[in-house]
């Protein structure tokens, strides 16, 4: 009498996790990046809602000049004109972050455009675009931006333009190298053989796969742009009618020995913000790197 073997339940194949879920899990393991992300979110929230919670006008002379922090009810003290430094710090956060993000976006747009064209078409297109990139790369960036602001005015759009126009070369080189690598892969060759146009190959097939290092570089460029704006403001090349962290440092730089807190406090705000952005950028670099995710 034959017996039929029992039917064993089939084991379900493990479902592949979404790349973004894997990247987030990798990012969460980086404790420094997570702390930096929390700090950065807190700074952004303060920049957005802070002026409504603390509505003091940063240009109003509210008390005696050079009141130290904590004296007479002013948590961060007053500057050389008796203006509230707390109000300047809160209102200046919005301007500094907006300048950093806008300048970084402009740099990424220029860099991706130049790098994508150079890496995809190669030949004389690559030669011309890379020579232009090298020209901007060897220029002294601070001096070049100072010339632009001095010639066309120290308005916020012009400061943003000056920072963006001198900061795109790193993105261009990263984008070019990624395009040179990806354009030779099999799935790109298959798409080209199936009749995909150059625009489709560049922006729908190659660019999405080249984004991870570009995103990391863009995050780091936000911090660099904030530092750049602070440097221009320290030299007096800023809009005096708009409060930013750099503008607070620039307006009080003459009194750094008499009342160092007027420069130290906004300087610490810039330091913490740029450090948080850098740590988040490092976390993104680890999370978006497929080789590190496979460990």
Average pLDDT over residues 273-284: 91
Correct CATH for 26-49+77-293 of 3.60.150.10, 3.30.160.110, 3.30.1330.30, 1.10.3720.10: 1.10.3720.10
- pLDDT at residue 27, rounded to an integer: 85
Q: Where are the domains of the chain?
A: 26-49+77-293
Summarised one tens digit per residue, pLDDT across range 38-84 is 999 999 999 999 999 998 999 998 888 888 888 877 889 899 889 99
pLDDT of residue 292: 53
| Interatomic CA distance for residues 113 and 131, integer angstroms | 15
Indicate the angle between helix axes 207-234 and 245-252, nearest 10 degrees. Answer: 20
Say if CB 252 and CB 183 are below 8 A apart: no
**For residue 155, pLDDT beyond 60:** yes
Q: What is the mean pLDDT of residues 104-110?
A: 94
Distance between CA atoms of residues 207 and 201, nearest Å: 8
pTM reported for the whole predicted model: 0.85
**pLDDT category, 134, cuts 50, 70, 90?**
very high
pLDDT > 70: percent of the chain: 91
Confidence of residue 13 (pLDDT cuts 50, 70, 90): very low
Q: How far apart are CA 242 and CA 91, in angstroms?
A: 9
Q: How far apart are the C-alpha atoms of 52 and 97, rounded to whole Å?
A: 17
Residue 294 — pLDDT band, cuts 50, 70, 90? Answer: low
């Amino acid at each position: 009498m034959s017996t039929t073997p029992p039917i064993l339940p089939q084991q379900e194949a493990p479902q592949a996790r979404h790349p973004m879920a894997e990247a987030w899990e990798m990012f969460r393991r980086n404790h420094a990046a997570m702390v930096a992300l929390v700090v950065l979110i807190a700074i952004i929230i303060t920049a957005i809602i802070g002026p409504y919670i603390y509505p003091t006008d940063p240009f109003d002379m509210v008390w005696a000049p050079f009141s130290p922090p904590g004296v007479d009810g002013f948590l961060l003290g007053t500057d050389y004109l008796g203006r509230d430094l707390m109000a300047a710090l809160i209102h200046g956060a919005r301007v500094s972050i907006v300048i950093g993000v806008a300048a970084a976006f402009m740099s990424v747009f220029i860099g991706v455009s130049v790098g994508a064209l150079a890496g995809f078409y190669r030949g004389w297109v690559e030669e011309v675009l890379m020579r232009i990139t090298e020209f901007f790369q060897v220029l002294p960036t601070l001096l070049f931006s100072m010339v632009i602001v001095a010639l066309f005015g120290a308005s916020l759009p012009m400061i943003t333009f000056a920072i963006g126009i001198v900061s795109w070369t790193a993105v261009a080189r990263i984008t070019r190298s990624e395009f040179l690598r990806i354009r030779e892969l099999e799935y790109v060759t298959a798409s080209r053989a199936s009749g995909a146009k150059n625009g489709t190959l560049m922006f729908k097939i190659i660019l999405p796969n080249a984004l991870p290092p570009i995103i990391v570089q863009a995050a780091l460029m936000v911090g660099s742009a904030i530092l750049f704006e602070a440097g221009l403001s320290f030299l007096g090349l800023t809009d005096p009618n708009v409060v930013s962290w750099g503008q607070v440092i620039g307006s009080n730089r003459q009194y750094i020995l008499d009342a160092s807190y007027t420069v130290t406090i906004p300087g610490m705000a810039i330091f913490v913000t740029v450090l948080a952005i850098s740590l988040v950028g490092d976390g993104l670099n680890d999370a978006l790197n497929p080789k590190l995710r496979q460990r």
